[in-house]
């Protein structure tokens, strides 16, 4: 089926330009156009669409208001901002309801790639209820202690960008949201950024303060249904897996950008657990108990209860948010790396190995039960024999608290 896209802009010349620019996609896309927010909502009530691409500055109902309504009424639709460099207040208004952000003028290739990336993982989640919840998520909840820490830092008259970036890099939700924003063309940074410290510095202190204090892009995890020990372990494991993946990339001499991205992929690999735990705390507690009782992996228990595992759930959200495809792929396939179809070491390889080695190093019985590695896959890449060396160096990196990204 064709992807159905609705473009919304109050300037007729812009809509005509989009029609001409995208004429070559007619075999793959069905396009519709609206000149106002209310007109767009009327069209959406009559016909189903996959994507809405909206300008920000429009009379009456602006783009932020429109996308907020689309989010409420049609949560499965991908929401993209395509706007000129508007003022700071207008930018911040769109941060919560939009999945991705593009700036005018936008070339055809960038627009095509953004829309296609947003839709490429939609088949991972076949359950519409789950897809709806993930599509509506504006942020991922943070560990309460880290949430309190960043609130103190941004409200302090002596705020430090370095300190803010370090706090963000230790948290799954904060890392995902900041990378979503800084890597979008909307914020004007044309280079790829994978370090939370660098991302915070590029966004700037005043923008970070506004996002945290006024826009509330971060929230804290509050469900008492789940044991605090599990939630603390989730954050500890995610950060440690990031350091392990980063260390493996260093050992393999894969270059600075790959090393930074390996850390991010490791930190974010279990984001799906956070999504499921935040939205279905009782069912997720049941999944935890079943895995412990049956001495099986949590992923197997998730499959039984939700019909999908945390890897697919996390990858779906990160793809919607426009995070780099290699990171999304590593999250999606960190339990089944051969499905990523890479013939050489990749982010997926490093996160798969890091996830296994970190659990193995933890030494607890429930961790050992969950610590599984695809030996045939690693052997095929000539990497299986490197696991003991990787483990030793990674453990040393953890003991030294080493992470270039923080």
Pairing of strands 100-103, 141-142: unpaired
Q: Which residues contact 366 (CB under 8 A, 6 or more apart)?
A: 291, 292, 295
Q: Please compute the mean of the pLDDT values over residues 262-279 and round it to a whole number.
A: 94
DSSP characters for 362-373?
H--HHHHHH---
Query: Residue 180 gets which letter from DSSP?
Result: H
**Residue 21: left if φ>0, alpha if ψ -120 to 50, beta else—which one?**
alpha
Q: Which residues pair with 237 in a beta bridge?
A: none
Q: Which CATH superfamily is domain 3-119 in?
A: Response regulator (3.40.50.2300)
DSSP characters for 210-246?
IIIIIS---EE---TTS-HHHHHHHHHHHHHHHHHHH
Q: Which residues contact 145 (CB under 8 A, 6 or more apart)?
A: none
Q: Which residues contact 124 (CB under 8 A, 6 or more apart)?
A: 308, 312, 315, 316, 332
Q: Which residue has 């705390």 as its token pair?
A: 281
Compute the distance between CA of residue 182 and CA of residue 198 in angstroms, rounded to an integer.
9
- Summarize pLDDT for 10-45 with one digit per residue, the tens: 999 999 999 999 888 888 899 999 999 999 999 999
Residue 192: its pLDDT value, please? 67
Residue 144, CA atoms < 13 Å, CB-side half-sphere: 8
Compute the distance between CA of residue 316 and CA of residue 125 in angstroms, rounded to an integer.
8
What stretch of H or E contains 29? strand 29-34
- Summarize pLDDT for 120-170 with one digit per residue, the tens: 777 777 778 888 889 989 889 998 899 999 999 999 988 888 899 889 988
Q: Where in the chain is the domain with CATH 3.40.50.2300?
A: 3-119
Q: Which CATH superfamily is domain 228-399 in?
A: Hypothetical protein af1432 (1.10.3210.10)
Q: Where in the chain is the domain with CATH 1.10.3210.10?
A: 228-399
Compute the distance between CA of residue 171 and CA of residue 193 in angstroms, rounded to an integer.
17
pLDDT band (50, 70, 90) for residue 365: low
Q: Please compute the mean of the pLDDT values over residues 58-76 and round it to a whole number.
A: 93
Compute the distance between CA of residue 215 and CA of residue 74 in angstroms, rounded to an integer.
22
179 and 322 Cβ atoms separated by less than 8 Å:
no
- Summarize pLDDT for 165-174 with one digit per residue, the tens: 889 988 999 9
Whether this model's pTM surpasses 0.75: yes
Residue 378, CA atoms < 13 Å, CB-side half-sphere: 21
Residue 116: its pLDDT value, please? 84
Residue 385: its pLDDT value, please? 95
- Summarize pLDDT for 199-237 with one digit per residue, the tens: 888 888 888 888 888 788 888 888 778 888 888 899 999
């Amino acid at each position: 089926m064709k992807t159905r896209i609705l473009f919304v802009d109050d300037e007729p010349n812009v809509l005509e330009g989009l029609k001409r620019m995208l004429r070559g996609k007619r075999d793959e896309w069905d396009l519709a156009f609206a000149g106002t927010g209310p007109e767009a909502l009327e069209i959406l009530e009559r016909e189903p669409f996959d994507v809405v691409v909206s300008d920000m500055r429009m009379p009456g109902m602006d783009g932020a208001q429109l996308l907020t309504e689309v989010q409420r009424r049609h949560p499965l639709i991908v929401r993209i901002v395509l706007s000129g460099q508007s003022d700071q207040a207008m930018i911040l208004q769109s941060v919560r309801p939009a999945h991705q952000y593009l700036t005018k003028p936008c070339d055809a290739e960038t627009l095509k790639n953004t829309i296609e990336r947003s839709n490429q993982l939609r088949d991972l989640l076949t359950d519409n209820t789950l897809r709806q919840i993930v599509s509506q998520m504006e942020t991922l909840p943070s560990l309460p202690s880290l949430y309190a820490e960043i609130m103190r830092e941004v409200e302090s008259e002596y705020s430090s960008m370095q300190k803010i970036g370090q706090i963000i890099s230790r948290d799954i939700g904060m890392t995902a949201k900041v990378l979503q924003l800084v890597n979008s063309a909307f914020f004007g940074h044309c280079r790829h950024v994978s370090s939370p410290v660098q991302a915070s510095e590029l966004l700037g202190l005043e923008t970070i303060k506004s996002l945290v204090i006024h826009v509330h892009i971060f929230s804290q995890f509050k469900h008492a249904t789940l044991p605090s020990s599990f939630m603390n372990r989730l954050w500890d494991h995610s950060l440690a897996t990031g350091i392990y993946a980063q260390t493996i990339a260093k050992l393999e001499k894969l270059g600075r950008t790959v090393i930074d991205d390996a850390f991010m992929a490791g930190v974010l690999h279990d984001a799906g657990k956070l999504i499921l735990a935040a939205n279905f705390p009782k069912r997720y507690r049941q999944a935890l108990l079943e895995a412990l009782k049956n001495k099986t992996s949590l992923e197997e228990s998730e499959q039984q209860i939700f019909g999908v595992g945390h890897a697919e759930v996390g990858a779906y959200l990160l793809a919607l948010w426009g995070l780099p495809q290699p990171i999304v792929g590593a999250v999606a396939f960190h339990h089944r790396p051969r499905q990523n179809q890479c013939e050489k070491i990749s982010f997926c390889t490093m996160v798969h190995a890091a996830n296994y080695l970190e659990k193995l190093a933890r030494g607890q019985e429930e961790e050992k039960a969950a610590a599984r590695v695809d030996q045939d896959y690693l052997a095929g890449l000539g990497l299986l024999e490197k696991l003991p060396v990787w483990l030793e160096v990674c453990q040393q990196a953890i003991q030294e608290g080493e992470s270039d990204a923080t």
